[in-house]
């Protein structure tokens, strides 16, 4: 798979992938971002891709990214609701919104600091709900390797966020 092949795939499927994601999310900006990210991930894995399955692979990546986006927003919503109940504050409290935005920014920044292999395991476990055995099968590595990667990811999150995970 070369750059010309990617350009052809982009021209041919970008709009339909973006629309596919938009129907799932109802957010055109997020759909466009996720569609672009799908192509980036596709490019990163280009050496593994068989030309005949490229379209399917692109849609699979896009679908997984959309599901991760939905799960992330669900976690954020649950956190907001939990905080509102705990603090007795409403969503309109500007201080709460500011603190939440700061936390989200710090969380995203911290997740991006996790080494790629550990981040992949963390997201597959926490966002997709896969077990260590399922992740092990998908990545074709031992369960022990998955445990080690997850431990590293959680350690980074604990240290940077100062929370119990």
The torsion angle over the Cα atoms of residues 60, 61, 65 and 70, rounded to 10 degrees, is 0
User: Residue 54: which of 92, 8, 108 has the closest Cα?
Assistant: 8
pLDDT at residue 50, rounded to an integer: 85
| Tens-digit pLDDT profile for residues 92-117 | 678 888 888 888 888 888 888 899 89
Percent of residues, the chain, with pLDDT higher than 90: 30
93-165 CATH fold: Arc Repressor Mutant, subunit A (1.10.10)
pLDDT at residue 105, rounded to an integer: 84
Q: CA 12 from chain center: how many Å?
A: 25
Q: What average pLDDT does the structure give for the chain?
A: 85
* In CATH, 1-88 is 3.90.1690: no
Q: Provide the greatest CA pair distance for the chain.
A: 56
Which segments of the chain belong to CATH 1.10.10.10?
A: 93-165
Instruction: Evaluate if residue 164 carries a pLDDT over 60.
Output: no
Instruction: Evaluate if residue 147 carries a pLDDT over 90.
Output: yes
Instruction: Evaluate if residue 159 carries a pLDDT over 60.
Output: yes
| Tens-digit pLDDT profile for residues 48-92 | 888 888 888 999 999 999 999 988 888 888 787 777 666 554 556
The pairs formed by 46-54 with CB atoms below 8 angstroms and a separation of 24 or more are: 46/1, 46/6, 47/1, 49/1, 51/1, 51/5, 54/1, 54/5, 54/9
Which segments of the chain belong to CATH 1.10.1740?
A: 1-88
pLDDT at residue 78, rounded to an integer: 78
Q: Which residues contact 39 (CB under 8 A, 6 or more apart)?
A: 6, 9, 10, 14, 58
| Tens-digit pLDDT profile for residues 120-134 | 898 888 877 889 999
| Tens-digit pLDDT profile for residues 8-53 | 989 999 999 998 888 888 889 999 999 999 999 999 988 888 888 8
């Amino acid at each position: 798979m070369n750059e010309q092949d990617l350009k052809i795939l982009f021209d041919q499927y970008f709009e339909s992938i973006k629309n596919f994601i938009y129907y799932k999310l109802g957010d055109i900006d997020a759909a466009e971002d996720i569609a672009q990210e799908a192509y980036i991930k596709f490019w990163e894995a280009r050496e593994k891709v068989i030309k005949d399955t490229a379209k399917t692979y692109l849609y699979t990546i896009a679908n997984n990214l959309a599901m991760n986006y939905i799960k992330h927003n669900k976690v954020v919503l649950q956190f907001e609701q939990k905080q509102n109940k705990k603090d007795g504050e409403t969503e309109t409290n500007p201080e709460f919104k500011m603190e939440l935005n700061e936390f989200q920014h710090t969380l995203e920044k911290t997740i991006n600091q996790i080494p790629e292999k550990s981040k992949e395991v963390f997201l597959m476990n926490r966002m997709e709900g896969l077990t260590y055995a399922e992740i092990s099968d998908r990545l074709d590595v031992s369960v022990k390797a998955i445990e080690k990667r997850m431990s590293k990811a959680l350690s980074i999150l604990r240290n940077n966020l100062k929370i119990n995970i």
